[in-house]
Chains A and B, each alone.
Chain A
Amino acid sequence: MKTYIDTGKKDTRSGFGAGLTQLGKTNENVVALCADLTGSLKMDEFKANHPERFYQVGIAEANMMGMAAGMTIGGKIPFTGTFANFSTGRVYDQIRQSIAYSGKNVKVCASHAGVTLGEDGATHQILEDIGLMKMLPGMTVINTCDYNQTKAATIAIANYDGPVYLRFGRPKVANFTPENGTFTIGQAVNLQEGTDVTIVATGHLVWEALEACKTLNEQGISAAVINIHTIKPLDANAILKSVATTGCVVTAEEHNYLGGLGESVSRILAENHPAPQEFVATQDTFGESGTPDQLMEKYGLNAAAIVKAATKVVGRK
């Protein structure tokens, strides 16, 4: 087993902020729009460095998405910033018509996704956004796992021509991927090789999957761990290659099991290599107030839940 070191807990949103800061210096076409959440999205530094390229739109997300679409006409690369809930559900039609259908080069950057937003509760904890975004034709959907990867993804999407949904979060989580690593859209990262079960994880659940892998190993179960940072387009080859060996899958995500990564993996398996699958995800429910750890525990979104699911799915082979 490979060993991964947590270099110190950091929030993924700060990775976004750092990536945006770097883009500000290297790409003059990058502009940033924010709907009254500059501090929460860690966009302060970009704003301070490039006030002329920073657009404070106020609490008006629909207008922000339309403006972002318009700014591409003129060659700009707009990055919009607000919470995941207000980046997707609130503005679905604006993204659908003015950005996705119109094929505009807008980067919809969404923080505070999932239950780990914590105490603010269900009104702000969207668990449906991956589904909403992946259903849009032409939309690339990315959910990063730590600070370093979020920074790398932020920089990478500026070089990709097309609409992107970049999902990250609020809490400080383990930072374990390489500093200044390369990020290739659509290319899964094999974190652990294994022979008994394949754990396909995204976002905050990737570190939990690595922790689960250690526990499973102690129990005599060899688990492969794949970091799926890009949910669409999904790296089917990486998943199928591993499942050819292991014969079963656990998917893990901080999202409803309806519409999430798990269902995308199921489709690939059904079409190519039917295999037992267990879903570590929320079970068609809203979240609630609590600390991130309490919520991950209550909603079954941690290493312990992945171990349980892996043990179960191995028994179903």
Chain B
Amino acid sequence: MADITQLEAFVTQVRRDIVRQVHKVNSGHPGGSLGCAEFIVALYQEVMQRKDGFDMNGSDEDLFFLSNGHISPVFYSVLARSGYFPVEELNTFRLLNSRLQGHPTTHEGLPGIRIASGSLGQGISVAIGAAAAKKLNKDTHHVYVLCGDGELQEGQNWEAIMYAAGNKIDNLIVSIDLNGQQIDGSTDTVLPLGNVKGKFEAFGWDVISVEKGNDIQSILDGMQEAKAKTGQGKPICVLLQTVMGNGVDFMMHTHAWHGKAPNDEQLALALAQNPETLGDY
């Protein structure tokens, strides 16, 4: 049984890490990072079966691919605080010669990262490949992906979505961060996504909706349901209704903080709303 209070404290610290990383280099993507903090924490702390240490092949453990690589601040924070690399290394986010590049990459050998992402729309394809390899290797673990909702505008996703259903990739759980925002505005004003649930279902996926995508218990329940549906001939999609910028009041419900760093005052406000729990780096 998960300790929700403990996970919430973890999330609070991750929020601090996110805004501090982005503030220090005056660049990066806090909005989407904050919106997915609960999900990534739940994934790494509760949902996934992980081995100690890191090897690229990831045999006999669950794998996660971040398709919307721009939310690297949350990914780095959770990876570091899950033991993949020293938490102090968050200090090097986006700096010259850092392993913590603006967008996640294998290129500098950062433990926990298995593919470069940033150019959008490629994560589901990669995850299908990893899931297919697991099947060949008789490895019964699962492959997880997170995609942004705006990212679904990229055509490659729909090639992958068609393939996964047509080929019964049923060890794959794709979560979509439905925050309704992208750089130029709301998804409805930039390019309406239409009925995302209906689209996935029409392609042959099992779809689970998590209406409270920033509530840890709801996320855990949804992912438990998703896991229970694996191995039944269909890939699984989890639609997470999230709030961009969640946990920092002035960053919430707007696309303004998609790719903007807080100034000193704004950082102080954000940190005041999220007191230190696990210890700052």
Contacts and interface: CB of A to CB of B under 8 A. Distances in A.
A and B from one complex: yes
A70 B133 CA distance: 8
A51 to B, nearest CB: 12
Contact of A63 (B56, B57, B107, B125): B125
B27 interface: no
Contacts of B119: 93, 96-97
A66 B136 contact: no
B199 to A, nearest CB: 16
Contacts of A72: 129, 133
Interface string A31-71: 10000000000000000000011010110101111111111
Interface centre among B57, B127, B132 (most CB of A within 10 A): B132
Contacts of A5: none
Nearest to B63: A73
A70 B57 contact: no
A53 B133 contact: no
Interface in B68-110: 105-107
A103 interface: yes
A197 B153 CA distance: 54
In this complex, the interface size class of chain B, counting residues with CB under 8 Å from chain A, is 35 or more
Interface stretch (B154-162, B226-234, B255-263): B154-162
A57 to B, nearest CB: 6
Interface string B139-182: 10000000000000001100110110011000000000000000
Contact of A70 (B105, B107, B129, B139): B129
A76 interface: yes
A70 B106 CA distance: 13
Given A73-B56, A74-B57, A103-B107, A67 B116 contact: no
B126 A69 contact: yes
Contacts of B163: 57-58, 60, 63, 67
A98 B125 contact: yes
B220 interface: no
B186 interface: no
Contacts of A64: 125
Interface residues of A, number: 32
A62 B136 contact: no
B136 A52 contact: yes
Given A70-B133, A102-B106, A103-B106, A75 B128 contact: no
Given A74-B57, A76-B136, A67 B129 contact: yes
Contacts of B59: 74-75
A76 B131 CA distance: 12
Interface hub of A93, A97, A103 (most chain B Cβ within 10 A): A97
A73 B173 CA distance: 17
Given A62-B155, A94-B122, 12 more contacts: A60-B159, A60-B162, A60-B163, A66-B123, A67-B129, A69-B129, A70-B115, A70-B127, A74-B130, A74-B133, A74-B134, A98-B116
7 contacts: A62-B121, A63-B125, A67-B163, A71-B133, A94-B125, A94-B156, A101-B107
